[in-house]
A and B are shown apart, each in its own frame.
Chain A
Amino acid sequence: MNLSSIAAFLNPVNLFSIRGGIHPETRKFLTAESAIEEMPLPKLLRIPLQQHIGAEAAALVKRGDRVLKGQLIGKARGPVSANIHSPTSGTVVAVGEFAAPHPSGLPVPTVTIRTDGLDEWGPRLPRLRPETASPAEIAAQVAEAGIVGMGGATFPSAIKLNLRDRYPLTTLIINAAECEPYLTCDDRLIREHAEEVADGAAIIAKALGVDEIIFAIESNKPQAAAAIAPFNHPLGLRLQVKVVPTQYPMGSEKHLVQMVTGKETPARALTAELGVVVHNAATAHAVHLAVRYGEPLISRLLTVSGRAISRPANLRVRIGTPVLDIINHCGGLTEDPERLLLGGPMMGQPIATQRVPIVKGTNGILALSASEARKEDMMPCIRCGTCVQACPCGLTPFEMNARIQSGDLDGAARVGLMDCVNCGCCSYVCPSNIPLVQGFAFARGKLAEKQSRKHQQEETKRLAAARIAREEAIAEKKRAAMAKRKAEMAAKKAAEAAAAQEAAK
């Protein structure tokens, strides 16, 4: 017995740790005991064609078309993209642009469907038997079903399943940490559908070609851990439950891997380099439905919570349901919310209007009352270093902020701006209430813009050079044609003169 196995035997949980992090009040009690409800169909569904990282899907329907539940309405375009399916049956009333569920509220191509209440299924995808299916078949089915990472990153899952081609993989970690305060939908999903989630995890493991599945759950969800524990041999693979400490941001992919395996992922690298792939519990459930039943991703679980919501709940909601309908289903708002967020309170994004729809990556709707949202005046930085201690990535937020404030964005990038995961721990702990993570979001956007402008400049330079070359080629051709004509004319004249002379003789 070596040392690490003794340590694992004595203390199976806290074998490793992550640095920094915070322990916010979780407030999960608001919804932790509310069973999953099926949200009734709304009248209108607005389905954005861009719900994932990558290229937007191409619309396959037009105004007036009747669509059936599960019908493909947006086709994935390019290598990184995802299919979009109709969440119910009804009529397409518009294919155009609508406000995105995004802080900017800018328009995004959207298909609007008037539901007919029949909820009539179209043809489903052919079912697969994961016991016999090849990894490539499973990945193709997942791609066909339009499944994306449902923890919020919305990266197309099929691409992650194909990582087996490029990296030697050993472990699948199912991320059920759910470290964001308020959110309980993954917790409820595992408690109520443990067997299905375990099966989905095993299907993913088969597709990845790994035989070790680790289910990582935070210690504040003992019921979920207990619920999944009996299903420890899905599809003959070994499934282990690891209870990780309740610590934000435990659910961050790289941090979870470090917590579970003790290995730190290099900066800007994939966890696959360590042989580990992380998928969210909700994604595993969606994979189960797609492979076993041929159901595409058309609905998802989300938590509706916050003190400004009359009846906080965990709901199964069709993709494209407007936020307003969901809030009304939960009894409406008790007060004007100080902040209306999609996602959790730490990393969630505010929305401009309640008319925007929820998408594949939306795991929560939070209406925070004034007492829950912090709003205090900003004070100067006192160099206390609390943010440095809290940063789970080992960065120096105050220094990055100072550089950003003085306009030195490249300098901020040199001290690690690009390694920030946007968790917001620094802003949370700052005693001077400095909007640190917000400044980093700005700086990253600014740098990306600079980069794209530079790229554009190079492209226009190329266009201009091409134009000049083309014009010169045309002029050259003209000159050549002219010269040829001149020569011909001269030859003709000479011939005529010669003929005339001949005649004169």
Chain B
Amino acid sequence: MFTAAASMSALGLGLGLLLGTAARRFHVEIPPIVDEISECLPGTNCGQCGFAGCTSAAEAIADGSAPVTLCPPGGRDVALQLAEITGTDADLSGDTEEATPLIAFIFEDHCTGCTKCFKRCPTDAIIGAAKQIHTVVSDACIGCDACVEVCPTEAIVLREKTKTLRSWYWDRPDSAGTPVLQGGAQ
């Protein structure tokens, strides 16, 4: 009885020490890449990628089970950044070069003021109160589609962000032909 107890304790102590040193010695930190990836992602937890939030998406990207192109609000830029971090090639073939950012627009005629969208919006981009017509703060909207899904009257659509004088810029000059933009006296 005594020998059994002593040997079991000795075994337990030995193995415990072994495990303890191994844990110290071969300590693996949580891959910092996950942090780096979540840093890149919008962080709004909109759920468009199919994961529960940006952190779980970052983990999925880090272990390679999700493509770097999974984030629609991030678009091309984020995909390229992620590709750089993970060292993979971003498959942008499905993504046309200029995916213009979308933002939500509320048809005021259809809005009943139910506040469902207002509660869902991850960036507080919708202003409204019960039985008041809601509206979208276009600068804060990330086009995540969450409000469109919950709207009971289908009063919300995603639209292309309209260009303003500040955001407008020249198109890439016509590569096939003539200088079309500026003058140039002969």
* Residue of chain A at shortest CB distance from B166: A452
Q: Give the residue of A372, A437, A442 whose beta carbon is less than 8 angstroms from that of B171.
A: A442
Establish whether residues A348 and B169, one from each chain, have CB atoms under 8 Å apart when the complex forms: no
For the complex, give the distance between the alpha carbons of A322 and B163 in Å.
24
Establish whether residues A376 and B178, one from each chain, have CB atoms under 8 Å apart when the complex forms: yes
Establish whether residues A346 and B179, one from each chain, have CB atoms under 8 Å apart when the complex forms: no
For the complex, give the distance between the alpha carbons of A106 and B166 in Å.
10
In the complex, chain B residues whose CB is within 8 Å of the CB of A104: 163, 165, 168
In the complex, chain B residues whose CB is within 8 Å of the CB of A50: 165
Establish whether residues A345 and B184, one from each chain, have CB atoms under 8 Å apart when the complex forms: yes
For the complex, give the distance between the alpha carbons of A50 and B171 in Å.
23
Q: Scoring B residues 109 to 137 as 1 if CB is less than 8 Å from chain A, else 0, what string do you get?
A: 00000000000001111000000000000
In the complex, chain A residues whose CB is within 8 Å of the CB of B140: 459-460, 463
For the complex, give the distance between the alpha carbons of A341 and B185 in Å.
12
In the complex, chain B residues whose CB is within 8 Å of the CB of A453: 77, 101
Within 8 A of B (CB), among A66-88: none
For the complex, give the distance between the alpha carbons of A457 and B123 in Å.
11
Q: Give the residue of A438, A459, A460, A468 whose beta carbon is less than 8 angstroms from that of B182.
A: A438
Q: Give the residue of B42, B176, B183 whose beta carbon is less than 8 angstroms from that of A378.
A: B176
For the complex, give the distance between the alpha carbons of A454 and B183 in Å.
33
For residue A367, give the distance in angstroms from its CB to the closest CB of chain B. Answer: 11
- In the complex, B86 has a CB within 8 A of chain A: no
* Residue of chain B at shortest CB distance from A471: B119
For the complex, give the distance between the alpha carbons of A439 and B179 in Å.
10
Within 8 A of B (CB), among A339-397: 339, 341, 344-350, 366, 368, 372-378
For the complex, give the distance between the alpha carbons of A350 and B47 in Å.
44
Establish whether residues A464 and B165, one from each chain, have CB atoms under 8 Å apart when the complex forms: no
In the complex, chain A residues whose CB is within 8 Å of the CB of B123: 460, 463-464, 467
- In the complex, A405 has a CB within 8 A of chain B: yes
Within 8 A of B (CB), among A437-457: 437-439, 441-442, 444-446, 448-450, 452-454, 456-457
Establish whether residues A457 and B165, one from each chain, have CB atoms under 8 Å apart when the complex forms: no
- In the complex, B173 has a CB within 8 A of chain A: yes
For residue A191, give the distance in angstroms from its CB to the closest CB of chain B. Answer: 23
In the complex, chain B residues whose CB is within 8 Å of the CB of A121: none
In the complex, chain A residues whose CB is within 8 Å of the CB of B184: 345-346, 373-374, 424, 427-428
- In the complex, A229 has a CB within 8 A of chain B: no
- In the complex, A160 has a CB within 8 A of chain B: no
* Residue of chain A at shortest CB distance from B139: A456
Q: Give the residue of B44, B139, B169, B181 whose beta carbon is less than 8 angstroms from that of A435.
A: B181
Establish whether residues B42 and A460, one from each chain, have CB atoms under 8 Å apart when the complex forms: yes
For the complex, give the distance between the alpha carbons of A466 and B121 in Å.
12
* Residue of chain A at shortest CB distance from B44: A464
For the complex, give the distance between the alpha carbons of A427 and B163 in Å.
27
Establish whether residues B178 and A106, one from each chain, have CB atoms under 8 Å apart when the complex forms: no
Establish whether residues A100 and B165, one from each chain, have CB atoms under 8 Å apart when the complex forms: yes
- In the complex, B3 has a CB within 8 A of chain A: no
Known: A461-B42, A464-B42. A444 touches B169 (CB 8 A): yes
- In the complex, A19 has a CB within 8 A of chain B: no
In the complex, chain A residues whose CB is within 8 Å of the CB of B183: 339, 341, 344-346, 348, 350, 366, 368, 373
For the complex, give the distance between the alpha carbons of A233 and B155 in Å.
70
In the complex, chain B residues whose CB is within 8 Å of the CB of A456: 139
Establish whether residues B176 and A463, one from each chain, have CB atoms under 8 Å apart when the complex forms: no
Q: Give the residue of B164, B174, B186 whose beta carbon is less than 8 angstroms from that of A374.
A: B186
* Residue of chain A at shortest CB distance from B183: A345
- In the complex, A25 has a CB within 8 A of chain B: yes
For the complex, give the distance between the alpha carbons of A349 and B44 in Å.
40
For the complex, give the distance between the alpha carbons of A450 and B182 in Å.
24
- In the complex, B26 has a CB within 8 A of chain A: no
* Residue of chain A at shortest CB distance from B163: A106
Question: Interface residues, chain A, CB within 8 Å of chain B?
Answer: 24-25, 27, 50, 100, 102-104, 106, 108, 181-182, 339, 341, 344-350, 366, 368, 372-378, 405, 424, 427-428, 433-435, 437-439, 441-442, 444-446, 448-450, 452-454, 456-457, 459-461, 463-468
Additional A-B contacts beyond A366-B183, A463-B125, A464-B123 (15; CB < 8 A): A108-B165, A350-B181, A373-B183, A376-B178, A427-B182, A427-B184, A433-B178, A435-B179, A456-B139, A463-B124, A464-B42, A464-B45, A464-B122, A467-B122, A467-B123
21 contacting pairs across A/B (C-beta < 8 A): A50-B165, A103-B170, A339-B183, A346-B184, A346-B185, A347-B182, A350-B181, A372-B185, A424-B182, A427-B182, A437-B182, A438-B170, A439-B172, A439-B173, A454-B77, A457-B42, A459-B139, A461-B42, A463-B123, A464-B45, A464-B123
The 8 A-B residue pairs with the shortest CB-CB distance in the complex, in nearest-first order? A445-B169, A345-B183, A435-B173, A435-B179, A438-B173, A464-B44, A461-B43, A438-B181
